[in-house]
Amino acid sequence: MRILVVGAGATGGYFGGRLAQRGRDVTFLVRERRAEHLARYGLSITSPAGDFVLSTPKTVTADRLVGAYDLVLLSCKAYDLAGAVDAFAPAVGEHTSILPLLNGMRHLDVLDAHFGSARVLGGLCLIAATLDADGRIVHLNDTHALTFGERAGGTSPRVASIAAQMKDATFVARASEAIVQDMWEKWMFLATLAASTCLMRAALGDILAVPGGERVIRGIFAECQEIAAHNGHRPRGAFLTHAESTLTTAGSTLTASMLRDIERGGSIEADQIVGDLLARRSARAATPGVMPLLETAYAALKAYETRAMRD
């Protein structure tokens, strides 16, 4: 199976690098500067699961991309999606499967419109990773999981084939028969984490330690659940138990990557993670004269973006 990984940043570089470590046919679609860096230094991963350096990773730039790939692994940020679509389009053939790992749901509409829904799988990943100052991938904890499946549910030969490619990779790979539900549940959790920690500019444990802090977190989570249920994706019991435990752990240092992006003055996925969720709520969800917590958090995120554009 020929696999094209769009980007070689923290997420794509990690999962693509681990697949290449197991001898899979992986090519990274990267910009010229990243290609030069990888050619000189290789692709380096530092991780609790084991360090690894791929000394000669296969790379290609958009202007030299030719021929169809069997699988396109898409892990860009949502605000980079339009450019990424144009870049990897030449790699999409009649039998190409596209596996996006972006957050939320808006990206599915974009990919369906460009390539047809039959080519686009559902997918998500769970990992905390970053690039250090030297361009090395640093995996920050023990979590590194990738889940994928047919959006219509059930299984298929192509999902089985992808699962076989990932079977012995260092990360946890899982083929799901309910991937859209999985994606909605991750979205609920991530939106709660991002809205809470960005609104309060603090880690979960810091929020929980102050009067009313837990009410803010639980209130945002409840609003996210209501929106999911309105869209036919009421959260399952096991997810709720795990999510509530994680969100209310005293002393937790967990923050959303969106907060880290804000702290470094970077771009954020406010519209895709929080704004699009609000756009899918019931018209009856809002109480007249009362601004919901999730909407308040979204306003704060958009204010950050407005100031960043001005500065």
CB-based contacts of 47-53 (< 8 A; 24+ apart in sequence): 47/14, 47/137, 47/138, 47/139, 47/144, 47/170, 48/139, 48/141, 48/142, 49/139, 49/142, 49/144, 49/170, 49/171, 50/170, 52/17, 52/18, 52/21, 52/170
Helix pair 213-230, 293-310: axis angle to 10 deg: 100
- Answer yes or no: are the C-beta atoms of 127 and 145 closer than 8 Å: yes
Distances (CA, A) of 244 to 58, 213, 235, 254: 42, 14, 12, 13
Residue with tokens 């039998």: 95
- d(CA 213, CA 198) in angstroms, rounded, equals 13
Catalytic-role residue among 58, 77, 167, 186: 186
Active site residue 186: yes
**Amino acid, single-letter form, for residue 193:** L
Q: Is the dihedral of CA 298, 279, 72, 92 positive or negative?
A: negative
Please give the positions annotated as active site: 186
